[in-house]
Amino acid sequence: MRQSSLFSSTLREAPSDAEAVNHQLMLRAGFIRQLAAGIYTYMPLGRRVLRKLEQIVREEMDRAGAQEMLMPALQPAELWKQSGRYTVYGPELIRLKDRHDREFALGPTHEEVITTLVKNEFSSYRRLPVAVYQIQTKFRDEPRPRFGLLRGREFLMKDAYSFDATWEGLDTSYRRMYDAYVRIMERCGLNYRAVEADAGAIGGEGGTHEFMALADIGEDTIAACTCCGYAANLEKAQSRAESHTYTDAERNRMEKIHTPHVRTIEQLKQYLHAEPRDMIKTLIYMADGKPLAVLVRGDHEVNETKVKNEVGALELELADAQTTTAATGAPVGFAGPVGLQIPVLVDAAVAQMPCAIAGANEADYHWKHVVPGRDFPVERAGDFRNVNEGDRCPQCEDGSLQLFKGIEVGHVFKLGTKYSEALGARYLDANGKEQPIIMGCYGIGVSRMLSAIIEQNHDERGMIWSPAIAPYHVHIIAVSIKDEVQMRLAEELYARLRERGIEVLLDDRDERAGVKFNDSELIGIPIRVVVGKHAANGNVEYAERKDNEKQLLSKEEAFSRIM
């Protein structure tokens, strides 16, 4: 590529609203341009790196036995209602209508679409296991899009899904994906930790790990043990450290009171009247995508005003929650991370736990592992800020915890039968009996990875790419394009390297040498060959971006060094 015709330009300074280094560098080097908050154009240099990341992900997914496909981004809302996520997903789900007034959503993830597809295609145990993936643009109306590609509203994700007939099969599928993720992280040169993660809003049962790129701007905190292999998202570490273990009796009781099939206010009232009165109950129920009712202790009246009556607006105003709590003495439970709080039924045993009250009234206190109509919390998070560097490891109890900041670049997740049950994806087992398909889902933020890699690999002059993912392998700088000898040598090297399959960017712009050098360091291509005043003797200056050590080499030496 001749830089004189490259469709992008460098900036001396990044716009002041770009806080993170990776964001500043990508703007300055002309890798991306912003269209709107959290929405970016990938310019040719950025696109090249993104394609290489995609390719690494693709190769490792293929190697893990997953098959590539591509699903629509535009999804009927009906599917989301069936899974129950039309409300649970909250305002992050971008909703729209077609000309016939039919409701749609722009896919933030594809469990609904793929489960429906599998339901219609795979009805026998003989067809299982199967795993698929896609690399596709996702849409999430994030409350705070920031740090460039790190938290976008439109971003590139690889999402994979596995379908098994048995739980052992799921373990195998999960492990295979986990191993693929390890290889992807390594090939991309990320300094990462795989950590036990919180189930968050996806729900489901079984394990989940996050792949965290270590970086100070990371929004997650990781606790890792100095002795054993324990590494966890701090939320999880906290819940482990403080987990309340329920007795079987408690668990049974919770399951009983947590009636899943209430769909109307009438049913809800009936159900509540059938329940023993001695229980404290607070319930905010959702039906058909709308918040339906708030019910509190001893008061079975429907109190709709306490809920923002908007589809998807699940967040009760904190003030509302406080009023409810103050007026009734009963706690309102919320599940899920900040900004995605899912109201849940709180029973007496849970209500007595100290964080139940706090959960309603204070930021950063949340219930965990709760999906309305399904699971009940078996662990509680309490105050996430309470884990400190040096605390005793909850796993081995010998080592102490070290804290790191991390960027979640990947997430593997045992979903179990959550979606197959909700959407009716069943198979016939060897005895001809219908069973729900057992699922896993596996995401990688491909565009987020680009940010994370730059965040970890830069210096004060710019980006530092490794050859595996660099936009080009070699940057040839023709110092003076008016000097015929220099240009002839630069062109010769350019042609010969390209013939050998090396990706070369030739700086043939009519610019001062200083500008060219600065831009070259900013863009960070691994090898730089300067064709300048030594060209008269057939020599060039060779340097690698990672250490910038300059060496005077003959053109043949430079050529063979590169090859």
Residues binding ligand ATP (CB under 6 A): 109, 140, 142, 151-152, 155, 157, 200, 408-411, 443, 445, 447-448
- E strands, 296-364, are 333-335, 342-344
Q: How far apart, in whole angstroms, are the C-alpha atoms of residue 85 and residue 525?
A: 44
Q: Which is nearer to ligand ATP, 187 or 448 (by Cβ)?
A: 448
Nearest residue (beta carbon) to ligand ATP? 445
Contacting range for Mg ion; rule: CB under 5 A; set: 147-155, 299-307, 406-414, 493-501: 406-414
Q: How far apart, in whole angstroms, are the C-alpha atoms of residue 243 and residue 240?
A: 5
To ligand ATP, the closest distance from the beta carbon of 201 in angstroms equals 8
Size of the site for Mg ion (CB under 5 A): 2
Amino acid at the residue 288:
D
To ligand ATP, the closest distance from the beta carbon of 65 in angstroms equals 20
To ligand ATP, the closest distance from the beta carbon of 220 in angstroms equals 7
Residue 409 touches which member of ligand ATP, Mg ion, none, C-beta under 5-8 Å by kind: ligand ATP
Q: What tokens appear for 533 in the block? A: 């005043």
Residue 222 touches which member of ligand ATP, Mg ion, none, C-beta under 5-8 Å by kind: none
Q: How far apart, in whole angstroms, are the C-alpha atoms of residue 540 and residue 486?
A: 10
Residue 442 touches which member of ligand ATP, Mg ion, none, C-beta under 5-8 Å by kind: none
- CA distances 50 to 129, 157, 453, 468, Å, are 30, 11, 11, 12
* Three-class SS state of 469: coil
Q: Which is nearer to ligand ATP, 25 or 150 (by Cβ)?
A: 150
To ligand ATP, the closest distance from the beta carbon of 22 in angstroms equals 12
Q: How far apart, in whole angstroms, are the C-alpha atoms of residue 552 and residue 558?
A: 9
Q: Which is nearer to Mg ion, 411 or 475 (by Cβ)?
A: 411
Q: What tokens appear for 377 in the block? A: 């919390």
Answer for the pair 505, 49: CB distance below 8 angstroms, yes or no.
no
Amino acid at the residue 286:
M
Measure the N-to-C terminal CA separation of the chain; round to a whole number of Å: 18
Contacting range for Mg ion; rule: CB under 5 A; set: 25-33, 54-62, 403-411, 483-491: 403-411
Strand 32-36 relative to strand 39-42: parallel, antiparallel, unpaired?
antiparallel
Residue 471 touches which member of ligand ATP, Mg ion, none, C-beta under 5-8 Å by kind: none
* Three-class SS state of 341: coil
Answer for the pair 14, 23: CB distance below 8 angstroms, yes or no.
yes
To Mg ion, the closest distance from the beta carbon of 142 in angstroms equals 7
Residue 410 touches which member of ligand ATP, Mg ion, none, C-beta under 5-8 Å by kind: ligand ATP
Q: Which is nearer to ligand ATP, 110 or 555 (by Cβ)?
A: 110
- CA distances 258 to 40, 146, 255, 326, 347, Å, are 44, 38, 5, 24, 9
448 binds Mg ion (CB under 5 A): no
DSSP state of 396: T
Residue 458 touches which member of Mg ion, ligand ATP, none, C-beta under 5-8 Å by kind: none
To ligand ATP, the closest distance from the beta carbon of 291 in angstroms equals 22
To ligand ATP, the closest distance from the beta carbon of 375 in angstroms equals 18
> Dihedral (C-alpha) 24, 26, 28, 30: value to the nearest 10 degrees?
-160
To ligand ATP, the closest distance from the beta carbon of 361 in angstroms equals 24
Q: Which is nearer to ligand ATP, 152 or 343 (by Cβ)?
A: 152
Residue 48 touches which member of ligand ATP, Mg ion, none, C-beta under 5-8 Å by kind: none
Residue 209 touches which member of ligand ATP, Mg ion, none, C-beta under 5-8 Å by kind: none
Give the footprint of Mg ion on residues 407-426 (CB under 5 A). 408, 411
To ligand ATP, the closest distance from the beta carbon of 140 in angstroms equals 5
Question: How big is the chain, counted in residues?
Answer: 563
Q: Which is nearer to Mg ion, 80 or 122 (by Cβ)?
A: 80
Q: Which is nearer to ligand ATP, 200 or 333 (by Cβ)?
A: 200
Q: How far apart, in whole angstroms, are the C-alpha atoms of residue 3 and residue 501?
A: 18
Q: How far apart, in whole angstroms, are the C-alpha atoms of residue 446 and residue 46?
A: 12
Q: Sheet with 74-76: list strands edge to edge.
A: 74-76, 103-106, 94-97
Residue 366 touches which member of Mg ion, ligand ATP, none, C-beta under 5-8 Å by kind: none
3-state helix vs strand vs coil in the chain, percent to 5:
35, 30, 35
> Which residues here bind Mg ion, judged by CB under 5 A?
408, 411
